[in-house]
A and B are shown apart, each in its own frame.
Chain A
Amino acid sequence: MIQLEQVTKTYPKASRPSLDNVSVAIEKGEFVFFIGPSGSGKSTIIKMLLHEVAPSKGRIVVNGKDVTSMRSWKRPAFRRSIGCVFQDFRLLPNRTAYENVAFALEVIGKTKAVARRVVPEVLELVGLGGKEHRYPQELSGGEQQRVAVARAFVNRPLILLADEPTGNLDPDTSIEIMRLLDRINRTGTTVVMVTHDSNIVNQMRRRVIEIESGRIVRDQARGVYG
């Protein structure tokens, strides 16, 4: 599903590479944590998988598509197969929960009728039934992240990327979000999550890939934070 082959990324003006000869293969339906200290290069991986940053060396294949050689005009279509969740939720403040999710559908050309059918369903799935018409500032942090997850999942992507999704949430809320991601993973969606929340990693017992100074130092099938 996701392959990184000897990927190196050196940002201009950086003295050492952010990623140094990293090779990883992630199968369909896996749930993978990338862990490591700040600046270790975890987020660079997410950016590369989104075709936002190109590797300096090596090859990246996502969903059978070579991202390395992908032209930028193909990026929009490519992104439709990938859901994305961030630490800062990235919701539109002047739109309700429903409208935020519907917006993601409408801007890729889905009709309002499709949105009316699909959006309540997915909001129900993330546990926000009854709060469709609240604005982000009327929702708690956990609820906002649920809206973001709903938005990422509404297109039924093959891959869900999560960049520190619990970074702004308290431990209990974090666990709830993890349950949600776990449920999404069980529908067959590959989940890749970048985090340094040791609690969560230890509880989930999923594959853990640890990165330090741009190199993989550990890749463990049912790992803990360490």
Chain B
Amino acid sequence: MEQHSHIALPKGSIEKTTTTLNIGPTHPATHGVFQNIMEVDGERVVSTEQTVGYIHRAFEKLAERRPLYQITPITDRLNYCSSPINNMGWHITCERFLKVELPKRVDYLRVIIMELARISDHLICNSIVGVDTGAYTGFLYVMQYRELIYEIYEEVCGSRLTTNIGRIGGFERNFTNTAFTKLEKFLNEYPKVLREFENLFARNRIFMERTQGTGGISAQRAMNYGFTGPNLRAAGVDYDVRVQQPYSSYQDFDFKVPVGTTGDNYDRFLVRNAEMYESISIIKQAYQKVQSFKGAEAEVYHADVPAYYLPKKEDVYTKMEALIWHFKIIMGEIDLPKGQIYSAVEGGNGELGFYLVSDGGRTPFRLHFRRPCFIYYQAFEELIKGGMLSDAVVTMSSLNLIAGELDA
């Protein structure tokens, strides 16, 4: 029989003793669009090469022709598990750059939304670690509460996943009573659910054996690899942007920064869980502070900056000045000052930074996003080398990799 010479195998692929395995671009284990080309010897990982860029959308280029408000919806699509943090991180960058002072109530309202977003980000990541170790229940259970968080977003800004929430200087509208009622419901019910979720995993023997000692990294290596957020804290470095460089009045709150020791999957899980409790406590404090405003102060939901804050729609229809500002803002006719700024917030998975360079035009001259998971995903090979393939899958999900953020 004639030889099948048309199958072009790579050179040496018959002789070699390891197997090449593609995980991704679309694979249940990647939870997003990115690829891992792994070399495995039996079930042991010999080496891996991570490929990213499958959903690259050229955000940095797009941002070079957009006025500030048109960049907000772009930031939604970075870490889409916690878009409000991205939106507010961007607005905070603009406010710092434009030297806009915010009323305290706005800061506290933002803190409520950002901490809700952090909870929704962490609960997805932790429950996905559960799914990848074979426990689906927790994932479906906490999903109800992510839904409740999304309903609160919906009350505040009208959308759920890609939120485009807020404005430069505050929020587009005041929080409704329904939003506060839903927030109270969340604060009442979620701690119990989180406790139950924790009971499912934290001392579960199967879960512990799957996650302890896998995907670990030392504090020094983690810093060298540019880890930030829960992944760095799990390795034992207590770096948190909320504490080190407070924004949005985080200095007014009393909370702990949980840290781990080994930086392995189990510690990452515990740190995220502990952070969710801290977030609940921050939200409670912020809600109390918000309620303590009385009279006219209780109606404040934005700073008084007509040059950057969109006027109310009914004013646009009836008042000349509001119409002018509306036009100027929408058409991007307000030139930015010259200069540059780097401003960071604590995102769901690490330090989310915005580096803005302005040459005095209507749009940024250059905008660079420091995307935490793009930077720490490099360490993946070091984390999993020599381990089992199934541990690599757990490590991948416990790193909280979000494809939208990897690719920008």
- Note whether A and B form a binding pair: no
What residues make up the interface of A, taking CB atoms closer than 8 Å to B?
none
What residues make up the interface of B, taking CB atoms closer than 8 Å to A?
none
